[in-house]
Structure 1
Amino acid sequence: MTLLGMPTVPAQLTRDMGNGLTFTAGHHFALDPALEIDMFLERLFGPLSVIAQITKRCNFDCNMCSETKMLPDPTLKQLERMRDNLAGVPRIFLSGGEPLLRRDFGDIVDMFADAGHVLAVPTNATKGLQHARRMAGKVAFANIGLEGPRATTNRVRGDYDEVMRGVRALQGAGIPLSLSAVVFRSTLDTLQFTCQIGDVLDVGKVKFILPLRKGNALDLDENEFISEDEAARAFDRLLDLRSVHDWRPALRMTTWTPENEGHMIVVEPNGLTNAWPVYDAPDLFEPLGNLLEEPVSEIWKRYRFKRNHVMKYLGRSIRTAGREVKPGA
């Protein structure tokens, strides 16, 4: 334990993924500088990262939530089939909804960890106490949704104190963390506090994302959506403050430009696999196939956003600042 009573989190190491690709301590991918993007794309027979929704259920009702339909949870047998069809994908997000609502979440982690993927878990952490021990040593990082200080998180997402209790449980089990915050105009002044919280928690990265016009976000006041220029100014301001306050986590900000369209591949609980967000598609989903019926390598062949996918996950089409290493670390 540290002097502040916080558990010590193990060092977040760089992992060689092959083909010139590494997974870094900032919880993102990096490419050998000697490799050009076109050369790297020619080597790819599947995606770098896939979001697998193991449930659509959630115990929060976030203002920006993009879910528009409920589906039954996939069975373990179905998830095993999806896992087999995701062979060769470097990173998989076991996502939701809120994935930790599944009582069998530990079994799902074991299933995917045994396949050798880098596993990441986007979560509100409220069920962290129940699942932390089963995740330990198998999950590369948990990505915690947090919009900053208590009042802001309570207004935008859910119970801040419940989230932080789960965060402590995850850290107590030695699970590395990242933070993810959706940026509204009314939360711009709190972004610096999200960075400060991330620094105190020693997270790998703090990621900011602009909301998409889908699901609950359709009810947001139009004034809450900031422009690309405003996002750039906000990120530059964070970089200035980062220098002043010596924040260590990597910083990321994703906005919805043509270069980022369709960059995510999302597998729904029924196996339907989509490019997302595709700006003129219904629900922003462009169907690609069904992972229960064919391997991801076949789905990848008909995926038309390959360059956007690679550029985003390599940090080339978003705003980025790398993780600072502490002296002596």
Structure 2
Amino acid sequence: MTNLGMPTVPPQARTELTGGFGYAFNGQHFDAPTDLDLEAAANALTAPLSVIVQVTKRCDFDCSFCSEVLQMPDPTLEQLDRVRENLAGVGRVFLSGGEPLMRKDFSEVVDIFHGHHIVAVPTNATHALDHAWNIAGKIAYANVGFEGPRATFKRVRGDYDKTMAGVRALQEAGIPLALSAVVYRSTLSVLPYTVQIADTLDATKVKLILPLRKGNALKLDDHEFITTQEAESTFAQLKAQRAEMQWSPALRLTAWTPQNEGHMIVVEPNGVARAWPVYDAPDLWENLGNVLNEPISEIWKRYRFKKNHVSKYVGRSIHAVTQGV
């Protein structure tokens, strides 16, 4: 039998957390003992493992899947500092949007959270030339939305060349990269190209996400939404192709199953914390409180998706292939 092998992967540095949890690969994923009792571990936590903080709702793209189409004013630096204080105990914070790098003071936003949390940035990278060198060494990684080759990217997301220029700026600044792609039925055929691009860019992972019916995605044709079974089949094929082609990025697939309901905690620009996605809520949000007014530890006490939160972030309720496997 032919031994395909895999590229050499640098040893992962692990950051220890409470309860046996840890971060690995620059904070890109959590790990925990395989025999961990998820419900008991979730109930023992006093704060979430990871929180998304929207530092703006503004964006220079109009992605066909975007759920964040309602606008509100950006939080001030003072408000963000208060949010940071009230997120004490949270290990990782995503500084998100909208497009977070549209803030001219984004490096100052990073400075507020750096040193208190592992900081990651979801971005379309179009403004990375403005900020990359100022945030290098302060963020664990940038997660760039990327739906594959130029034609598909332009149809689904926006300006491929502008994003790619930003990706190169992030690389030159030494910022680790991950890619995420929203999966439509019409984009299934380009997923191998997406992973190939990620491999070429030395991205550490490719995260596949199914769209949800909110915002711009309400205008998508029904046939664009694949079933969980189809998603799992697609992931299995991609996993096999990854081994055959010796692509190095890890693979992740999040499907919207009952085990993943409400697993994300998102803080909007006005400080309101919400569980997302909550399937029976009209806008898929469930209000939890406001972190401008109270600590996340109090919000966590009444959050009803603790087990789902932990299960997703330690990889129990998603499909995953890690680097080097």
TM-score, structure 2 as length reference: 0.94
Counterparts of 1:319 and 1:300, CA distance in 2: 26
Q: Give the partner amino acid of 1:80.
A: D
Counterparts of 2:204 and 2:12, CA distance in 1: 8
Show the counterpart of 1:69. 70
SS for the counterpart of 2:188 is: helix
Identical aligned residues as a percent? 61
Contact in 1 for aligned 2:101/2:127 (Cα 8 Å): yes
Structure 2, unaligned runs of 5 or more: 1-9
Counterparts of 2:203 and 2:52, CA distance in 1: 21
The reply on whether 1:55 has 2:34 as its aligned counterpart is no
Rate the CA distance shift 1:59–1:171 in 2: closer, same or farther, 3 A. Answer: same
Show the counterpart of 1:29. 30
Show the counterpart of 2:97. 96
SS for the counterpart of 1:282 is: coil
The reply on whether 1:129 has 2:156 as its aligned counterpart is no
Structure 1, unaligned runs of 5 or more: 1-9
Counterparts of 1:11 and 1:270, CA distance in 2: 40
CA displacement at 1:67 relative to structure 2: 1.1
Counterparts of 1:12 and 1:152, CA distance in 2: 33
Show the counterpart of 1:168. 168
Q: Give the partner amino acid of 1:44.
A: L
Counterparts of 1:280 and 1:263, CA distance in 2: 14
Q: How does 1:117-156 map to 2 (within 5 A)?
A: 117-156=117-156
Contact in 2 for aligned 1:50/1:93 (Cα 8 Å): yes
Matched residues, number: 315
Show the counterpart of 2:6. none
Show the counterpart of 1:40. 41
The C-alpha deviation readout for 1:263-293, integer Å capped at 9, x for no partner, is: 0000000001100000111211000000100
CA displacement at 1:38 relative to structure 2: 3.2
The C-alpha deviation readout for 1:193-251, integer Å capped at 9, x for no partner, is: 11111111111210000000000000000000001111011000001101100111110
Show the counterpart of 2:299. 299
Q: How does 1:1-329 map to 2 (within 5 A)?
A: 13-25=13-25, 27-115=28-116, 117-324=117-324
Counterparts of 2:293 and 2:222, CA distance in 1: 40
SS for the counterpart of 1:87 is: coil
CA displacement at 1:49 relative to structure 2: 0.5
Counterparts of 1:141 and 1:97, CA distance in 2: 18
CA displacement at 1:42 relative to structure 2: 3.5
Contact in 1 for aligned 2:43/2:306 (Cα 8 Å): no
SS for the counterpart of 2:81 is: helix
SS for the counterpart of 1:13 is: coil
CA displacement at 1:11 relative to structure 2: 7.8
The C-alpha deviation readout for 1:78-132, integer Å capped at 9, x for no partner, is: 00000000011010000000000000000010110032x1101000000111000
Contact in 2 for aligned 1:25/1:323 (Cα 8 Å): no
Q: Give the partner amino acid of 2:288.
A: L
CA RMSD, aligned part only? Answer: 1.4
SS for the counterpart of 1:311 is: helix
Q: Give the partner amino acid of 2:252.
A: R
CA displacement at 1:12 relative to structure 2: 6.1
CA displacement at 1:20 relative to structure 2: 1.4
Contact in 1 for aligned 2:276/2:284 (Cα 8 Å): yes
Contact in 2 for aligned 1:264/1:275 (Cα 8 Å): yes
